[in-house]
Amino acid sequence: MTEQTSQTPTKPPGLWKRISRSRPTKPGQTYGVPGQGNTLWLSVCSILFFIFVWWLVTFMGWVKPLFVPSPMAIVSKFISVWNNGYTGTSFLDHVVISTVRVFGAFLLACVIGIPLGLAMGMSPIMRGIFDPPIEFYRPIPPLAYLPLMIIWFGIGETSKVLLIFLSVFAPVVLGARSGVKSAAIEQIHAAYSFGATRWQVMRYVIMPSAMPEILTAMRIGVGFGWTTLVAAEMVASTKGLGYMVLSASQFLQTPVVIMGIFVIAAIAFAFDLLMRFVERRLVPWKGRM
Contacts to another protein by CB under 8 A: 184, 186-187, 189-196, 200, 204-205, 208-209, 211, 283-285, 288-289
- Nearest approach, Cβ of 180 to another protein (angstroms)? 16
Complex with another protein: residue 46 or 200, whichever CB lies closer: 200
- Nearest approach, Cβ of 192 to another protein (angstroms)? 4
> What angle separates helix 71-84 from helix 254-282, to the nearest 10 degrees?
80
- Nearest approach, Cβ of 222 to another protein (angstroms)? 24
Complex with another protein: residue 173 or 201, whichever CB lies closer: 201
d(CA 138, CA 131): 10
Q: Within 13 Å of residue 132, how many CA atoms lie on the same side as its CB?
A: 3
Q: Which of 121, 137, 136, 91 is nearest to 266 (CA)?
A: 91
- Nearest approach, Cβ of 90 to another protein (angstroms)? 45
Hey, what amino acid is at 242? G
- Nearest approach, Cβ of 44 to another protein (angstroms)? 33
Complex with another protein: residue 194 or 277, whichever CB lies closer: 194
Helix/strand/coil for 89: strand
Q: HEC profile for 219-238?
A: HHHHHHHHHHHHHHCCCCCC
CB 264 within 8 Å of CB 232: no
First to last CA, the chain: 59
Complex with another protein: residue 262 or 285, whichever CB lies closer: 285
- Nearest approach, Cβ of 202 to another protein (angstroms)? 12
State how far Cα 47 lies from the chain centre: 19
**Buried/exposed code over 233-256 (b: 16+ C-beta within 10 A; e: otherwise):** bbbebebbbbbbbbbbeeeebbbb
- Nearest approach, Cβ of 252 to another protein (angstroms)? 54
Q: Which of 210, 186, 182 is nearest to 282 (CA)?
A: 210
Complex with another protein: residue 245 or 283, whichever CB lies closer: 283
d(CA 161, CA 103): 9
Complex with another protein: residue 58 or 209, whichever CB lies closer: 209
Complex with another protein: residue 21 or 288, whichever CB lies closer: 288
